[in-house]
Structure 1
Amino acid sequence: MKTLEIPPSLWNGDEVLAALARRDIGQLFRLVRQYIGASQTQIAAACDMTQGKVSEYMKRGGRQVLALEVFERIADGLDMPDDARMTLGLAPRSFRTPPQPGSSGWLADPSLFGSLGGSPYASDEDGESVQRRTFHRLAAAGLFEAVLADLPGDSMARDHVETLVTALTGHPDGSGARTEAAHLDLSALRARVASAKRDYQACRYSTLTGTLPGLLADLQAACEVLDGDDSRRAYTLSAEAYQVAAGVLRKLGDEGLAWLAADHSMRAARRSEDPVTVASSSRSIANRLVEGGHFGAATTMASSFAVRLDRDIGEHTPESLSVYGILLLRGAEAAGRRNDRATVSTMLDEAEGAARRLGGDHNYRWTAFGPTNVRLHRVNISASLGDAGQAIAEARRVDLDRVPTTERKAVLLIDTSRALVQWGRHEKAYEILRVAERLAPEEVSARPAVHRLLRDLHATSPPSAKRRVTEFATQIGVRL
């Protein structure tokens, strides 16, 4: 493959940067021809494609590049520097650049990962020990020490899901055990809801599916018995508990029950007469719309409730600002699923502004919202858009020590693994997924979405990695 001689200054030009950001290869080729006089034949030879294909790309409104492999080939052929590659949505060639000040550098440290371009198994007679040493370095990294100290056992979350049906459908169980006054004490109920939120953010899903039915039943009774301000407080707690139920059911892949829980959450939120609670519960509905493939409706809903909250609150509190910001992130995520890059950019920028106003990473209203959560969503959305390199580049900038919850840490690792699969770095994707499982076993073993990722990884891995993926799947009970 012949490389064209392109001056470094070209990659810093506004027109070229704009073309790269839009992934407009036709415009990029036109600019290369304009500024260095390269012919279509020369561009084709450099990028290992036919002259006819280059001509199709260069036509106004012509063919668009969609495949990651083609983007990589073009970047290599034009000898793009790392900054240009990242603007195009590809990973840089070198992962040895120092992390930003204050970053734990969890994906950038070459002593931890080596080069993501190579395989830890290839050309090594003792590949198993190489992989094992690499994984031990990952697991022993300081940022994981606190959360690896006390790991729960195998997930039993699915075994308890049926016990939620009674609470969600509102049918009494006939036991009469939920009529005691102690179960209606608002302070006690508030503590139990907080405990449920903590279990969710710690990925203790089997615990939640066991405790939620009783909590939901007691909250329903409190809403029916109490009146005045106490009734509204009970409805607020009920809305929050149903949000947890919707979240854990989504994690376990039971969309029917998740929809029911989300609907209960919104109904209770409206009865609470609290605009922050209403906005918070709207996230559960937006999540259900996304899972159902209604990305436009989810974007519109999240945006509308964010605007309404901003209007109704007047002067934001840390809690309302956090809910406002997380709604914008949910809308951006939905927009990313429908490849609406303009809306993604607008909503992420607005969420970033809200995070700056908040002043740091916090967990108000159990949102885990702040600047770091915005960056986590940039990773997720980049992976959804197929911008694997951009997702990895964003992940490298995350300081995991600043991620407030185990669930958010695990999701980041899973999103990074997904991007690495897209990018063809199967061994690294496997290593990251193993760390996610060590960190949050039930987030990996219980989630159908992660099972699909594991199957994709198995299907596309080379023989050197496929065996390890098979063993890992068997270990956590996933059928490939």
Structure 2
Amino acid sequence: MGIETFGEALRRLRQHAGLSVREVARRSACGKSYVSDLELGRRCAPSLPVVQALDKAVGADGELVALVGLVAKITNVAYAADFVALEGDGGEVRRREFVGLTGASLFDAVLGASDDRGRAGGAIETLAGVLVDHSQSTDGPVDLPSLACAVGTAKRNYQACRYSQVISGLPRLVRDLRTACAVLDGDAQLQAHALAAETHHVAASVLLKQDDKGLAWLAADRSIQAAQASQSPLMLGSSIRIITHALMDGGHHRTATDTARGAAQRMDAALTDPSVDDLSVYGSLLLRGAIAAAHSGERHTIAELLDEATDAGTRLGYDGNHMWTAFGPNNILCHRVNIAVRLGDVGAAIKYARQVEIDKLPVNERKATLLLDTSRAFLLRGQHEKALHILRAASDLAPEEISGRPAPLRLVRDIQATAPPSLRREAREYAASLGVNT
């Protein structure tokens, strides 16, 4: 006898539990038609988070998870082959990893309690209070190695798109680093200032993700001040990246372009034998300037900055994460995708997206951004099915990148509003799972 399929196992377990298809769909936050299609073998087995939700819904005690055998893949992106094949020569969309992803069940499986989104607002309010408060912590002596470890954790959580964890940990970290900068001296104080620059950088980044422009600008300014106090040109260049991002988000695109380009030129002039950190910060500044120029439609400037960044990426030779930049050849291609979408060159965006070796991108935040940009490109091209499937892939990879950010939710709404009749129900169910209303 052959191995039981996922659909057969799901149907057997559902019937054994005495549940209807409708009830399983309700418990797992999946669409009724989707659950039915799974049982009938019309859909491939879904991603692990959805399998976990279905397993729980039918009381399978891990049987469905074991059957699918996807546990080892939860922290890796298995989309690379399908992603490259999306724009095939007239072929159908390859769906193996793009189908069957539903929002609410996915978030419950990956993030735990579904009220994380509700807590985010309160955590940001706490962070706001700390950013404007200048008092010092009196909890004990300064432990600089522990603070450095905490900053690294915040950076890693941000790059893994665990934004709720980042926000909840920042208030204490900001306060403790403020104390460290005040009470330490010598090289230890310079290191504390550098850590404060990194911390305020990540604070500004996550606040920009939340469209909190005013508070993000305050955090970005604090990052620059701390970087200057650290007396590190490299740290200053890194902090200028977030200032440029804040300027862009405020609509100051020409100033952002000039700021990024000027900082990159100063770095280039000062470097005779650049390290991997130098190349990464330098290249990232050029990329940030190119994105800003795209907002103004300055194609000559875009081409110039991208060419210089490509040269830096070639000199580096690989996609690393030096100075938390995720800079490298594939990251440059990701920026080309983003810029092409901004300029309305959707054909070019899809062409560049096909060239990206997504598994070589070192951080999930960059992978998710690439998938979102590619989804937008397909939507602009009128290929709603591909747009929706890639968006779901981004959800699977980085749930908080979709569920907790206004911009991706607007993309979900746009897909739902303009989907053709054949896709409308699927788009509506997915949007509803995220709490998105037209």
**Which secondary structure state, in structure 1, belongs to the residue aligned with residue 84 of structure 2?**
coil
CA 1:258–1:116: 2 relative to 1, 3 Å: farther
| Letter of the 1:263 counterpart | D
What is the match of residue 69 of structure 1? Answer: none
Q: Determine whether 1:412 maps to 2:387.
A: no
Aligned partners of 1:275 and 1:313 also within 8 Å = no
| Letter of the 1:407 counterpart | E
Q: Determine whether 1:203 maps to 2:153.
A: no
Q: Determine whether 1:376 maps to 2:339.
A: no
> What are the within-5 Å matches in structure 2 for residues 5-20 of structure 1?
none
Give the distance between the partners of 2:170 and 2:95, measured in 1 at CA. Answer: 36
> What are the within-5 Å matches in structure 2 for residues 113-262 of structure 1?
113=86, 135-138=95-98, 151-153=110-112, 154=114, 155-156=116-117, 157-172=120-135, 178-182=137-141, 184-262=142-220
What is the match of residue 427 of structure 2? Answer: 469
| Letter of the 2:194 counterpart | T
Measured against aligned partners, the alpha-carbon deviations of 1:97-150 in whole angstroms (never above 9, x if no partner) come to xxxxxx9443332xxx48686887xxxxxxxxxxxxx6444379xxxxxxx9x8
Aligned partners of 1:105 and 1:396 also within 8 Å = no
What is the match of residue 455 of structure 1? Answer: 413
CA shift at 1:466, angstroms? Answer: 2.4
Among 253, 261, 265, the residue aligned to 1:295: 253
What is the match of residue 37 of structure 2? Answer: none
Give the distance between the partners of 1:423 and 1:248, measured in 2 at CA. Answer: 30
Give the distance between the partners of 2:344 and 2:313, measured in 1 at CA. Answer: 26
Give the distance between the partners of 1:107 and 1:304, measured in 2 at CA. Answer: 36
CA 1:223–1:238: 2 relative to 1, 3 Å: same
What is the match of residue 295 of structure 2? Answer: 337
In structure 1, list runs of 5 or more residues that go unmatched.
1-102, 121-133, 141-147
Give the distance between the partners of 2:81 and 2:299, measured in 1 at CA. Answer: 28
Moved more, 458-467 or 360-369: 458-467
Measured against aligned partners, the alpha-carbon deviations of 1:396-433 in whole angstroms (never above 9, x if no partner) come to 11111101001001000000001011111011101100
What is the match of residue 106 of structure 1? Answer: 82
CA 1:322–1:378: 2 relative to 1, 3 Å: same
Give the distance between the partners of 1:460 and 1:118, measured in 2 at CA. Answer: 23
| Letter of the 2:241 counterpart | R
In structure 2, list runs of 5 or more residues that go unmatched.
1-78, 101-106
> What are the within-5 Å matches in structure 2 for residues 348-367 of structure 1?
348-367=306-325
| Letter of the 1:312 counterpart | A
**Which secondary structure state, in structure 1, belongs to the residue aligned with residue 392 of structure 2?**
helix
What is the match of residue 224 of structure 2? Answer: 266
State the percentage of identical aligned residues: 47
CA shift at 1:199, angstroms? Answer: 0.2
Query: What TM-score do you get using the length of structure 1 for normalisation?
Result: 0.69
Aligned partners of 1:275 and 1:312 also within 8 Å = no
| Letter of the 1:431 counterpart | H
RMSD (CA atoms): 2.4
CA 1:409–1:232: 2 relative to 1, 3 Å: same
**Which secondary structure state, in structure 1, belongs to the residue aligned with residue 82 of structure 2?**
coil
| Letter of the 2:121 counterpart | R
Runs of 4+ deviating beyond 6 Å? 116-120
**Which secondary structure state, in structure 2, belongs to the residue aligned with residue 138 of structure 1?**
coil
Aligned partners of 1:243 and 1:262 also within 8 Å = yes
CA 1:338–1:117: 2 relative to 1, 3 Å: farther
Give the distance between the partners of 1:435 and 1:187, measured in 2 at CA. Answer: 37
CA 1:456–1:287: 2 relative to 1, 3 Å: same
Aligned partners of 1:116 and 1:425 also within 8 Å = no
Give the distance between the partners of 1:181 and 1:307, measured in 2 at CA. Answer: 43
CA shift at 1:457, angstroms? Answer: 1.6
**Which secondary structure state, in structure 1, belongs to the residue aligned with residue 98 of structure 2?**
helix
Higher gyration radius (CA): 1
CA 1:338–1:220: 2 relative to 1, 3 Å: same
Give the distance between the partners of 2:416 and 2:165, measured in 1 at CA. Answer: 30
Q: Determine whether 1:392 maps to 2:350.
A: yes
Measured against aligned partners, the alpha-carbon deviations of 1:5-62 in whole angstroms (never above 9, x if no partner) come to xxxxxxxxxxxxxxxxxxxxxxxxxxxxxxxxxxxxxxxxxxxxxxxxxxxxxxxxxx
Q: How many positions carry a matched residue from both structures?
A: 351
Moved more, 381-390 or 464-473: 464-473
| Letter of the 2:139 counterpart | E
